[in-house]
Structure 1
Amino acid sequence: MAAAPISPVTARAHSNIALIKYWGKRDAALNLPAVGSISITLDGLYTDTRVGFHAGAERDSVDIGGRKVDAAPFTKFLDLIRARAGIAHRARVESWNNFPTGAGLASSASGYSALALAGCRAAGLETSARDLSILARQGSGSAARSIFGGIVEMHRGQAEGGEDAYAEPLLNAEDWPLGVVVAITDRNAKSVNSTAGMAALDERSDYYDAWVARAPDDLASMRDAIAARDFETVGALTEMSCLKLHGLMLSTRPGLIYWNAATVASMHAIRALRAAGTPVYFTIDAGPQVKAICAPEHTAEVAAVLADVPGVLDTRISGLGPGAHPLD
């Protein structure tokens, strides 16, 4: 029996940053990752998305941050929800981020995660967290992880249809409190988005095969370090995966350079802090923003140091956050 649309629903999902990075797709059409990943969900960065399905509307309408945007990319995703619910109504989507959009802070992760939850609820669907993760992945690969809070692993999967490519939690946020300081070095959208940057990597980088082959070992090492609450090893693996990712990006033809001068200066500042005795490690996704991971009691010190780095525009302090949830 087809589900009946209900009143508009608002959901919140939080951004996540990968400790062991994901880059590359094994199936672009289904948005299946070439490698697995492990991430942490941030309580301080989130997206609120409101979705309503309306009889009689001729087309989908999407606003982000109060500005109307092209609905076409979102219509394809909303069609997945409509097909499950057995409805044809067009949607009204309104979304707000409390951080810069498209700037390397995983706004697509929190955005599509919130859209998946709000859309399913508004369409009258009851879905499991795993099903939501699979759905969110089809909008953005990293969105599969933002369905969950704390520390999360995304499975690459083996099935051609993607039914085993989903995320699941490793630890809840309260199981191992960690602090994150985000150094924002550019508020503008990045010039090359992640989807374009990942396209046809097997043809555009001589290092891609090695990246894919090494991923299972990196994931296993991180999994063991998290289980042991070994922060030093977690930090070392995080920096290694970050630098390896950007090495892959640099090797891509044409080379992808997401860093700016403040990005590099922040990395050096973090390593100097660590050499002076403060346990802190950096990671950087596809963008110029630097994320420093440390114990919660060190976040104020780390934020103060990063705020003094020339070119750092703002710092944000966060802990580990919850999974996606409705606000209504």
Structure 2
Amino acid sequence: MTQARIAKYQAHTNIALIKYWGKRNQELILPVTSSLSLTLEAFYTQTQVEFSDQFANDQFILNGHPQSHEATTKVSHYVDLFRRTAGVTLPVKITSDNYVPTAAGLASSASAFAALACACNDALDLNLNPHELSIMARQGSGSASRSLFGGFVEWEKGSGEDSNSSFARPFDSADWDIAMIALVLNHQSKKFSSRKAMQHTIETSPFYKLWPEEVAKDLELIKSAIKQKDLKQIGEIAEHNAMKMHATMLAANPSFTYFESDSLKAMELIKNMRHNGLTCYYTMDAGPNVKILCPYSQSQQIKEQLLHYFDESQIIISQVGPAPFALDVSGV
């Protein structure tokens, strides 16, 4: 009997301001374009791994519920990346708690795989650095590579089929007057998974061929705006980039959208608030929820305006989130 190897980590979600939409390699999760995100303090995942020869097989418990064979197998395959690197075959028990609405366009997979990657690295004494870990996290969920760092993070698309060329890196600590408000319009799992939606868009949308070119331009513009701490320009670029991404979906065949009536209502409210002098810009990912980039100093004022139309439980103000960190393990 070998001693159990245990570690537990907390990782935070990130929201892309320059979007990742489309893979050039499905298996390795190599993106068509680079992207840039902001890590959020309010949404996170806590994951504990325990490797032990006392387990008959791998176990996966999410939010207190044992997961299906299919879900466990998927996570097991991912953990195999770390087991192969460590040269071990020990079964693992994964206990994960998501403090994010799962699969609703709030990047729960990003924090989940980032926390899992960090916990596996620690428990198996691999000593991978954040750069190397971002490559490993990417292979679980593309956006997880960005959750390896706090603040503004750039995910480099890399080149060709070289898995090690695509990684995330910190760009700016975002330790200034900046926040994001999540407007949670739908807690339900989304109708179309991101993976299927991306591939359908690539294969059928005539607008998609313009997407890489637009992202490259937007990325350079937003990096310059971040260096200048120009939130107005950052917001304008991010809002337009998000709408261009959703336009590729609307032009797919058959067409589809993540917009719901409340999503559209929220966008109009944000434009009206902007017209009335507040600094606020919207972005949306693969889900109906709307995220609002704004100065933290104006976040309460914006929330008060939103309360005229949405319930307080739907409005979550988030400051900038940190890189993953270790937690005390339970029962040890």
Query: Structure 1-normalised TM-score?
Result: 0.95
Structure 2 match to 1:61? 59
SS of residue matched to 1:180: strand
Q: 2:169 aligned with 1:168, yes or no? A: yes
* Residue in 2 that maps onto 1:39: 37
For residue 135 of structure 1, give the secondary structure of its aligned residue in structure 2: helix
Aligned to 1:155: 156
Measured against aligned partners, the alpha-carbon deviations of 1:10-41 in whole angstroms (never above 9, x if no partner) come to 10000100101110001111000111101000
Residue 25 of structure 2 is aligned with which of 24, 27, 32? 27
CA shift, 1:162, in A, is: 1.6
Alignment identity in percent? 35
Paired with 1:142 and 1:283, the residues of 2 have a C-alpha distance of 16
- Aligned residue for 2:48? 50
Q: How far, CA to CA, are the matches of 2:243 and 2:174 in structure 1? A: 26
Deviation at 1:6, TM superposition (A): 5.4
Task: Indicate conservation of the 8 Å contact 1:6/1:123, yes or no.
Answer: no
* Contact 1:35/1:156 (<8 A) preserved: yes
Question: Comparing 101-110 with 59-68, which one deviates more in the overlay?
Answer: 59-68
Does structure 1 residue 233 correspond to structure 2 residue 233? yes
Q: How does 1:239-258 map to 2 (within 5 A)?
A: 239-258=239-258
Which amino acid is the alignment partner of residue 193 of structure 2?
Answer: N
Instruction: Tell me which residue corresponds to 1:119.
Output: 120
Q: Distance in 2 between matches of 1:134 and 1:74?
A: 16
Map 1:257-296 onto structure 2 (within 5 A). Answer: 257-296=257-296
Q: Which residue of 2 aligns with 1:219?
A: 219
Task: Using the TM superposition, name which of 191-200 and 39-48 deviates more.
Answer: 191-200
- Look up the SS of the partner of 1:199 in the other structure: helix
State the 1:200 CA deviation. Answer: 5.0
TM-superposition CA deviations, 1:169-192 (whole Å, max 9, x none): 111142x34111111101111111
Q: Which amino acid aligns with 2:80?
A: D
Q: What is the CA distance between 1:159 and its match in structure 2?
A: 4.0
The structure-2 alpha-carbon separation of the partners of 1:93 and 1:18, relative to structure 1 and needing over 3 Å to count, comes to same
Answer yes or no: is 1:197 the counterpart of 2:207.
Answer: no
C-alpha distance 200-189 of structure 1, shift in aligned 2 (>3 A):
closer
**Partners of 2:5 and 2:52 within 8 A in 1:** no
1:18 match:
16
What is the CA-CA distance between 1:57 and the residue it aligns to?
2.4
Indicate how the Cα distance of structure 1 residues 277 and 13 shifts in structure 2: closer, same or farther if over 3 A, else same. same
SS at match of 1:188: coil
Distance in 2 between residues matched to 1:63 and 1:308, nearest whole Å = 39
1:137-180 deviations in Å (ceiling 9; x for gaps):
00001000000000000001114122110110111142x34111
Distance change in 2, residues 1:327/1:295 (3 Å): same
Task: Say whether the 8 Å CA contact 2:201–2:248 is kept in structure 1.
Answer: no
Q: How many pairs were matched up?
A: 324
Of stretches 303-312 and 191-200 in structure 1, the one that deviates more from structure 2 is 303-312
1:309 alignment partner, SS class: coil
Residues 173 and 321, structure 1, Cα contact 8 Å, conserved in 2? no
Is the CA contact 1:183–1:312 (under 8 Å) kept in the aligned structure 2?
A: no
RMSD of aligned Cα (Å): 1.5
Distance 1:5 1:32, change over 3 A: farther
Structure 1 residue identity aligned to 2:286: A
Partners of 2:200 and 2:287 lie apart in 1 by 20
Change (3 A) 1:92 1:305: same
- Name the SS of the counterpart of 1:40 in structure 2: strand
Q: Which amino acid aligns with 2:36?
A: I
Return the TM-score normalized by structure 2.
0.94
Contact 1:5 1:122 in 2 (8 A): no
Secondary structure at the aligned position of 1:163 is classed as helix
AA aligned to 1:235 is G
